[in-house]
């Protein structure tokens, strides 16, 4: 995930945008094919120092200005006017961000699948294991432990699906030009955008530069996924307290120790997920603040989004990876569970049915 949001990937995606723009414009007769080839060849071989690029961008106010200057300096004179034709800086920035979103989403899906597979197995394994249900942090009535685990599974699965839907809907190419009219595209703006989107692995869409619903939806759904993972982490941490001891994170050499107390076995995976869950809401709120963008291009709102989305992806990756390890190696102490459940007949209600309904989307409305 760090590589996905690295400076090198930003450079690569930005060059891919300029190359795809030239190829699509040549295909639809907006620029000459030989000129397009010189631009694409330049984008394939140009080497940009991210540190120097960042210094120039700080003065220019956008990464695209020094990028386009570098390409124009490297192509033949005849091709210079055709570089970045009809595009604007925000087209590059937004499209690069969405290419990173697409890549990052694949990693999120992978680790979420690890968590969900492990939880489904544990939930079914403990579908008839009595445990004390707790409400307001007090002992309540018995439940099946598998039902608690299935609820973790359902929350994470729902949030993952919402995130996947947001990415599928909103990870779209941005191509609007200076004010979103697609001027300079020879009347072929929609066809050029579709061609570029296909080349860059994005969805084609009308310009969305002043509508920040898409980035906000992706960010909020990702924050919800982090929160759902945090719910599982909170419960595991509570169950692993010494006085309860119903569950423990997997025992791994060097994991969960204390520099001062050798006897401790701290829930460090849960700690990672909970720290992420504590940071995610504020980051999501920053994204919501960008919705009130000014006129045809906002000032200061959308410019804040890429670093915030990057941080949310990194937090989600860390939380999911940590809790995937926890879910796969979660240790359950059935004797400790039994110690909190009263003797005698135990009415666990319809726990077994509910577990299957929670693990099987659509089984129960």
From the list 258, 259, 265, 335, the catalytic residue is 258
Q: What's the rounded Cα separation, in Å, for the pair 233 and 310?
A: 22
Q: What is the CA radius of gyration of the chain?
A: 25
**Structural tokens at position 215:** 């980035």
Name the DSSP letter for residue 77.
Answer: G
Q: What's the rounded Cα separation, in Å, for the pair 69 and 71?
A: 5
Q: What angle do CA 358, 360, 362 make, to 5 degrees?
A: 95
From the list 72, 85, 114, 297, the catalytic residue is 297
How many C-beta atoms surround the C-beta of residue 176 within 10 A?
Answer: 26
Residue 265 annotated in active site = no
Q: What are φ and ψ of residue 143, in 5° steps?
A: -135, 170
Residue 258 annotated in active site = yes
Helical H runs in 182-258? 189-200, 213-239
Backbone region of residue 331 per phi and psi (left: phi > 0; alpha: psi in -120 to 50; beta: other values): beta
Q: What's the rounded Cα separation, in Å, for the pair 228 and 65?
A: 40
Which has the closest alpha carbon to 105: 16, 198, 4?
Answer: 4
Q: What's the rounded Cα separation, in Å, for the pair 250 and 327?
A: 9
Residues annotated as part of the active site: 258, 297
């Amino acid at each position: 995930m760090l590589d996905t949001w690295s400076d090198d990937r930003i450079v690569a995606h930005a060059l891919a945008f300029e190359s795809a723009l030239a190829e699509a414009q040549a295909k639809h007769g907006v620029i000459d094919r030989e000129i397009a080839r010189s631009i694409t060849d330049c984008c394939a071989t140009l080497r940009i120092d991210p540190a120097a690029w960042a210094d120039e961008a700080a003065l220019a106010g956008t990464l695209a200005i020094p990028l386009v200057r570098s390409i124009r300096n490297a192509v033949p004179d005849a091709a210079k006017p055709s570089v970045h034709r009809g595009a604007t800086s925000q087209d590059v920035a937004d499209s690069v961000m969405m290419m990173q979103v697409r890549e990052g989403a694949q990693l999120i899906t992978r680790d979420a699948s690890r968590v969900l597979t492990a939880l489904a197995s544990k939930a079914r394994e403990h579908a008839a294991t009595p445990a004390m249900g707790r409400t307001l942090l007090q002992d309540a009535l018995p439940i099946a432990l598998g039902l608690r685990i299935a609820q973790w599974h359902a929350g994470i699965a729902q949030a993952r699906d919402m995130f996947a839907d947001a990415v599928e809907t909103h990870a779209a190419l941005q191509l609007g030009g200076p004010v979103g009219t697609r001027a300079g595209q020879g009347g072929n703006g929609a066809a050029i955008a579709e061609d570029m989107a296909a080349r860059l692995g994005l969805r084609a869409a009308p310009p969305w530069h002043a509508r920040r619903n898409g980035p906000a939806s992706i960010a909020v759904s990702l924050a919800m996924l982090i929160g759902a993972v945090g719910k599982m982490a909170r419960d595991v941490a509570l169950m692993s307290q010494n006085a309860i001891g119903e569950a423990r994170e997997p025992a791994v050499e060097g994991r969960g120790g204390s520099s001062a107390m050798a006897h401790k076995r701290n829930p460090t995976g849960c700690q990672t997920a909970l720290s992420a869950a504590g940071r995610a809401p504020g980051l999501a709120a920053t994204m919501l603040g960008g919705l009130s963008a000014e006129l045809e291009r906002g000032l200061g709102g959308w410019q804040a989004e890429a670093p915030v989305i990057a941080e949310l992806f990194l937090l989600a990756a860390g939380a999911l990876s940590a809790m995937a390890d926890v879910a796969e190696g979660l240790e359950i102490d059935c004797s400790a569970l039994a110690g909190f459940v009263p003797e005698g007949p135990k009415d666990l209600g319809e726990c077994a049915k509910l577990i299957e309904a929670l693990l099987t989307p659509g089984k129960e409305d």
